Amino acid sequence: MPSNNLLRQQYLQTMGVQVWQERAAEISVQQAPLALEAMDLDQLSSMVADCRRCEAYVNESTRSFSMGRPKARPWVLIADRPVQQSTASAQLLTDILSAVEQNLESSYLTSSIKCVDISRSTTLNECLNCQPYLLRQIELLQPSLILVLGELAAQSLLATDKQLEQLRGKDQSHVLHVLDTVVPVVVTYHPDDTLKDPQLKRLVWEDVQLAKAGSL
């Protein structure tokens, strides 16, 4: 059975995306397909709303593109499943960011998968199917930092099968190369997981402190 990384490369090559490779924990993002690279965020959102590329599509109510009104070079938060407004997860994320003088409203919150079926779990391959959209979002936003929330989002963005525990922490260094700009990437737990296991809050706090230092 081919590895997740091989499946990802095969999929992106089929779409015409030049595949980037990891070298010493550094990721190089090449140009998106022409249909995507000419789009702004509003056009990209419309394209996502009409997407039928994979089995993750259910109906229009499952689409999730972004939340927040980003300032110049914002923090981009990428979750492996959407954080819905007016939920305990959204409030926890707001509190965590406020503790390091970041505002969820002025950050850009998105997810690695754009279609969500709450009746089942998201798969890594589904995250990879949406990756061209995510990479275009990152190109347009030119973030000062990327904070990844959850294992699937981290695995798909960093092209790895390592578990979250191996990807987070001060001993881990990840960067994304976007249009000749180096962007620090910090990995931590999704707010949903932190609510289920309050002992994770200390680890999330450590990761967010690391993110603050990395974005200076």
Task: Please report which residue ranges of 111-190 form alpha helices under DSSP H.
Answer: 124-129, 131-141, 151-158, 164-167
pLDDT single digits (tens) 41-66: 999 998 888 887 777 776 555 777 88
Rounded to 10 degrees, the C-alpha dihedral 211/142/47/88 comes to 20
Which one is predicted more confidently, 124 or 167? 167
Flag whether 18 is in a domain. no
> How many CB atoms sit inside 10 A of residue 88's CB?
11
Domain count, the chain: 1
90's tokens? 């959204």
- Average pLDDT (194-207) is 94
Flag whether 19 is in a domain. no
Which one is predicted more confidently, 79 or 9? 79
Flag whether 8 is in a domain. no
Q: Enter the DSSP assignment of 115.
A: B
Q: Decide if pLDDT at 87 tops 70.
A: yes
Model pTM score: 0.80
Q: Decide if pLDDT at 3 tops 60.
A: no
Q: Determine which of 16-30, 31-45, 105-119 has the lowest per-residue pLDDT on average.
A: 16-30
- Average pLDDT (13-17) is 50
Q: Could you tell me what percent of the chain has a pLDDT over 70?
A: 80
Flag whether 20 is in a domain. no
Flag whether 7 is in a domain. no
Flag whether 14 is in a domain. no
Which one is predicted more confidently, 199 or 17? 199
- Domain interval for residue 43: 26-66+74-214
Query: DSSP string of 62-103?
Result: GB---BS---SS-EEEEESS---TTSHHHHHHHHHHHTTT--
Contacts 24+ apart (CB under 8 A), 83-90: 83/109, 83/111, 83/149, 83/190, 83/191, 83/192, 88/191, 88/195, 89/190, 89/191, 89/192, 89/195, 90/191
pLDDT single digits (tens) 104-157: 888 999 999 888 776 677 888 888 888 999 999 999 999 999 999 999 999 999
149: left (phi over 0), alpha (psi -120 to 50) or beta: beta
β-strand partners of 186: 147
Banded model confidence at residue 190, pLDDT cuts 50, 70, 90: very high
Flag whether 110 is in a domain. yes
Q: Decide if pLDDT at 21 tops 50.
A: no
Flag whether 16 is in a domain. no
Question: Residue 59's pLDDT is what?
Answer: 56
Q: What is the CATH number of the domain that holds 143?
A: 3.40.470.10
